[in-house]
Amino acid sequence: MPEGPELHLASLFVNKVCEGVVFTGPVTKSAVSKNCDVSFTCEAYRIQASSRGKEVKLTLTPMKSDVKEGSTVQPMDIVFRFGMSGYFRFTSEEELPKHAHLRFFSNEKPCRVLSFVDTRRFGSWQPNGSWQRGRGPCVMFEYESFRKKVLSNLSNQAFERPICEALLNQNYFNGIGNYLRAEILFRLSIPPFVQARTVLEILELEDLAADTTPVKEELDDQKTSDRESKRTSQSADLLRLCHTVPLEVVNMGGKGYDPQKADYSDFQAWLQCYYVAGMKSTRDHNGRTMWFSGDSGPMVPKECKSTKAKKRVKKEEDNDAAMVAEIVPKVKTEKGVKQEAPNSKTGLRKRKVKQDGEVTRPCDNTRCLRSNKTSEAR
DNA sequence: CGTCCACGTCTAC
DNA sequence: TAGACCTGGACGG
């Protein structure tokens, strides 16, 4: 579930299912979790959620002044990060999901449980927590301050990185993750390995007020190149897309990136670049896969990795030329960038035709389709 | 069976 | 700038 949109959708989910629900008793943790105990116990409390970038905050609010041994139970905030696999569910006790690591119990007859589920356990929570220091304003819901913070700190070292890597810096881009950076840069045809400062400094002089004006001006495109470039920077500049692209996912109304979910196809259809067949992909300096098309940009990592190179030699077997390029890294004509989607490895088959004759999208990620409801759809 | 890959941080050399 | 931290699905043999 875990980029800005998924975190926000999770907060909406919590507020929806917990509306009018009274929770009771202690908050319990799974035996295997290494996260903090949540020492909160209350006869009757409510749960509300909010999100900021890649964090969700649950607020536990006692209902009456619950006097116990002379002291009132105080409200508690718990701040969650979702890692690679976190999400919330609301189920009966019997249907508690595997990997439900933190649990809140309702006072209903057959009680229900709000649980934080996290298969890989990279997620975390902080009782009595607040938004993490070092994470900037939310790209979705604190747009003006997000924009201002970036543009007033362009001299910072963070912006000497390639733009695709800077976009994952949560101090400036709180909420952007791996699929969003690919989608955002793709929409603007920005090569991912261009220095971030270079891309952003042309926005520095923009009138901030202009950014609040809706896309009207787009219709106004008379053709002088001067005007054209102005239009482009105002209606579709990078920082603006860091705001609008994640909001598109929120407004799709599904659950965002969640391959296990039935309605994942909506999200999949929305993706234009990330994991799409025909797109290129390469590793950035942190080992994260960057999806893009067109130029990689000058700061693309060199294909070295002497240690990993050995292990990684065996790849791309359907193409002799590609294989040679991989085995003999001295030939750096492509700077280590794959020219084709890594179909055989990722399960991205070129094209699939269903039994019923309906052609799937050419860019299907069949790994996700399969784990999804493909068989059920038969 | 084994290897690779995944929506993200963290801390330690 | 590696790894560590984890589980599990897809795919290859």
Phi-psi map region of A275: left, alpha, beta (phi>0 left; psi -120 to 50 alpha): left
Is residue A354 annotated as a catalytic residue, yes or no?
Answer: no
Would you say residue A359 lies in a domain? Answer: no
> Is any atom of strand B within 7 angstroms of residue A136's beta carbon?
no
Residues 6+ apart with CB under 8 A from A117: A86, A87, A88, A89, A97, A98, A99, A100, A101
- Burial label for A131, CB within 10 Å (0-12, 13-18, 19+), is middle
The CA-based dihedral angle spanning residues A9, A11, A12, A14, taken in that order and rounded to the nearest 10 degrees = 120
Q: Which nucleotides of C are covered by protein (CB under 7 A)?
A: 1-3, 5-12
Would you say residue A330 lies in a domain? Answer: no
The CATH number covering residue A215 comes to 1.10.8.50
Distance A2 CA to C4 C1' (A): 20
- Tally the domains of chain A: 2
Q: What is the pLDDT along chain A (378 residues), one digit of tens a residue?
A: 699 999 999 999 999 999 999 999 999 999 999 999 999 999 999 999 999 999 999 999 999 865 556 668 999 999 999 999 999 999 999 999 999 999 999 999 999 999 999 999 999 999 999 999 999 999 999 999 999 999 999 999 999 999 999 999 999 999 999 999 999 999 999 999 999 999 999 996 555 545 444 443 333 433 344 444 544 455 679 999 999 999 999 999 776 776 666 678 899 999 999 999 999 999 999 999 999 999 999 999 987 533 332 222 222 222 322 322 232 232 233 334 554 444 333 333 332 222 222 222 333 333 333 333 323 222
CB atoms within 10 A of CB A23: 25
> Is any atom of strand B within 7 angstroms of residue A23's beta carbon?
no
> Is any atom of strand B within 7 angstroms of residue A174's beta carbon?
no
Is residue A303 annotated as a catalytic residue, yes or no?
Answer: no
* Integer Cα distance of A375 and A378 in angstroms: 6
Would you say residue A152 lies in a domain? Answer: yes
* Integer Cα distance of A329 and A335 in angstroms: 9
CA A3 to chain centroid, in Å, comes to 2
In the three-class reduction of DSSP (H, G, I as helix; E, B as strand; rest coil), residue A290 is classed as strand
Please identify which of the residues A29, A54, A261, A280 carries the catalytic annotation: A54
Q: Which residues touch strand C (CB under 7 A)?
A: A 32, 34, 84, 98-99, 119-122, 285-287, 305, 307-308, 344, 347, 349, 366-367, 370-371
Taking 3-state DSSP, the helix, strand and coil percentages for chain A, each rounded to the nearest 5, stand at 30, 20, 50
- A93, A127, A161: which is the final residue of a domain? A127
Is residue A330 annotated as a catalytic residue, yes or no?
Answer: no
The CATH number covering residue A99 comes to 3.20.190.10
- A201, A230, A252: which is the final residue of a domain? A252
Q: Residue A204 is part of which domain span? A: 143-252
Residue A91 shares a structural domain with residue A161: no
Residue A167 shares a structural domain with residue A223: yes
Helix A238-252 with A143-151: angle, nearest 10 deg: 150
